[in-house]
Amino acid sequence: MYDLNGQDIIVVGGAGYIGSHVCKMIAQQGGRPITFDNLSAGHEHAVQWGPLEKVDLCDRAALDTAFKNWSNATAVVHLASSIEVGIGEKQPAEFYTNNVVGALNLLDAMRVAKLDKLIFSSTCATYGETDKMPIEESDPQLPFSVYGKTKLAIEHMIQSYHKAYGLNYVTLRYFNAAGADESGLIGEEHDPETHLIPIAMQAAAGRRKELTLFGTDYDTPDGTCVRDYIHVNDIARAHICALEKFEAGLSKAEINIGTGDGVSNLDVLKTIGEVTGHVVPYVEGARRDGDLSKLYADKGQAKAVLGFEPIHSSLENIIKTAWNFHNSRWQNLEN
Ligand code: UDP
């Protein structure tokens, strides 16, 4: 893979789940990740591969100062955002402020700092409900959730900055990030946790009574939602591929980052039982606001434009690495 050769890369949200894995991979590839994070959702202990600049995207003056502090940086990876779909429906003010206002400040601070390369973490939730699967990048973007709407607004701002100010960008539309680094040092730790796999693991380990399965009457083969789970270290690799392509002259791209395989919520629970040997206790519940019935990626552009293909993303490996991480975290909490 690409040698970053000592480059400083600013990782906004580097203390978070995906961000910490991106930082680790930047360091592995010979670069230095500079984490910009307000630690509202991220964890200081996850910043292990480079310095931490504690800064809030909504504080424009502080952001300008932070960029001055790291004026050697060659590119920015932007992963900081509010992400829980259900919470966005109830608290749109928080989502639009953190995600859209924060990203506008970031784009503009980059313009002032003359930093012209950005990798942005967008989402499959920008596409909206459609029967056409797998989803291609050129398919209509009609987001259903507040979360998806905020990410699409940012995609549009980035396109405008490209056109008017020459910003080079790669927007990565992640499907469902899952799994953990094999070291067990970093993984998914949200508080409160809202995601399927970590909650199912808590239930499997007896750390919560059960999981509530949100909706069993969707128009899918087993009635539960279908998602495309991609290992977080594959997502991290996609960022290195994008940095390499900037070097080769890529100036703009929107790319799906998924495996192309649709997996139902029930499939996930069954595989957790098989891989961990612990059955996931669950009850059937109502649909969750903002959820789409199915989402899985066409991955052709990722290969064609970035030379990227997932290599860590079998559902078994995702579950094995996530289980390893959660068990070491629970042990640490108890000690
Ligand atoms: N889900 C569920 N119970 C939970 C959490 C999630 O049934 O406690 C479902 C959720 O409704 C969706 C799928 O699991 O159908 C994936 O949700 P998650 O929040 O993990 O990711 P999202 O697809 O929203 O990004």
Pocket test for ligand 1, best of 193, 195, 219, 224 (most atoms within 8 A of CB): 195
- Do 152 and 143 meet the contact criterion of CB atoms below 8 Å apart? yes
Q: Please report the atom of ligand 1 found closest to the CA of residue 85.
A: 24
Q: Among 223, 226, 107, which Cα is nearest to 171's?
A: 107
Q: Could you list the active site residues?
A: 147
For ligand 1, atom 25, the nearest C-alpha belongs to 176
- Do 145 and 288 meet the contact criterion of CB atoms below 8 Å apart? no
Crossing angle, helix 196-204 and helix 265-276, to 10 degrees?
40
- Residues 213, 133 within the same domain: no
How many CA atoms, within 13 angstroms, populate the side-chain half-sphere of residue 189?
23
Q: Please report the atom of ligand 1 found closest to the CA of residue 214.
A: 7
Regarding the beta carbon of 227 and ligand 1, being less than 6 Å apart is answered yes
For ligand 1, atom 10, the nearest C-alpha belongs to 214
For ligand 1, atom 14, the nearest C-alpha belongs to 196
Q: Residue 3 domain-assigned? A: no
CA of residue 196 to ligand 1 center, whole Å:
5
Q: Please report the atom of ligand 1 found closest to the CA of residue 199.
A: 8
CA dihedral 40, 197, 19, 149 (to 10 degrees): -70
- Residues 201, 143 within the same domain: no
Regarding the beta carbon of 265 and ligand 1, being less than 6 Å apart is answered yes
CA of residue 41 to ligand 1 center, whole Å:
19
- Residues 242, 274 within the same domain: no
Q: Among 92, 82, 91, 73, which Cα is nearest to 121's?
A: 82
Q: How many domains does the chain divide into?
A: 2
- Do 158 and 165 meet the contact criterion of CB atoms below 8 Å apart? no
Regarding the beta carbon of 280 and ligand 1, being less than 6 Å apart is answered no
Q: Is the dihedral of CA 153, 159, 164, 168 positive or negative?
A: positive
Find tokens 């594959």 and name the residue.
Answer: 234
- Residues 104, 218 within the same domain: no
Q: Residue 54 domain-assigned? A: yes
Regarding the beta carbon of 288 and ligand 1, being less than 6 Å apart is answered yes
- Residues 53, 142 within the same domain: yes
Q: Residue 114 domain-assigned? A: yes
Q: Residue 201 domain-assigned? A: yes
pLDDT at 111: 98
- Residues 213, 240 within the same domain: no
Q: Among 189, 258, 172, 194, which Cα is nearest to 16's?
A: 189
pLDDT at 322: 98
DSSP-derived letter for residue 297 is: B
- Do 38 and 32 meet the contact criterion of CB atoms below 8 Å apart? no
For ligand 1, atom 19, the nearest C-alpha belongs to 195
Q: Residue 188 domain-assigned? A: no
- Residues 168, 125 within the same domain: yes
CATH number for the domain harbouring residue 117:
3.40.50.720
Q: How far separated are the first and last CA of the chain, in Å rounded? A: 38
User: For the segment 228-279, what is each residue's pLDDT rounded down to a tens digit?
Assistant: 999 999 999 999 999 999 999 999 999 999 999 999 999 999 999 999 999 9
- Residues 175, 38 within the same domain: yes
Q: How far is CA 329 from CA 29, 170, 187, in A?
A: 26, 33, 9
- Residues 120, 217 within the same domain: no
pLDDT at 137: 98
CA of residue 71 to ligand 1 center, whole Å:
40
Q: Among 267, 262, 272, 264, which Cα is nearest to 200's?
A: 272
In tens digits, what is the pLDDT along the chain, a chain of 335 residues? Answer: 899 999 999 999 999 999 999 999 999 999 999 999 999 999 999 999 999 999 999 999 999 999 999 999 999 999 999 998 889 999 999 999 999 999 999 999 999 999 999 999 999 999 988 889 999 999 999 998 999 999 999 999 999 999 999 999 999 999 999 999 999 999 998 888 999 999 999 999 999 999 999 999 999 999 999 999 999 999 999 999 999 999 999 999 999 999 999 999 999 999 999 999 999 999 999 999 888 899 999 999 999 999 999 999 999 999 999 999 999 999 888 88
Q: Please report the atom of ligand 1 found closest to the CA of residue 83.
A: 25
- Residues 65, 200 within the same domain: no
Regarding the beta carbon of 196 and ligand 1, being less than 6 Å apart is answered yes
- Residues 141, 201 within the same domain: no
Q: Residue 176 domain-assigned? A: yes
Find tokens 């070291």 and name the residue.
Answer: 183
Q: Residue 2 domain-assigned? A: no
Q: What is the domain extent for residue 170?
A: 8-180+229-260+298-311
Q: Residue 189 domain-assigned? A: no
CATH number for the domain harbouring residue 270:
3.90.25.10
- Residues 209, 151 within the same domain: no
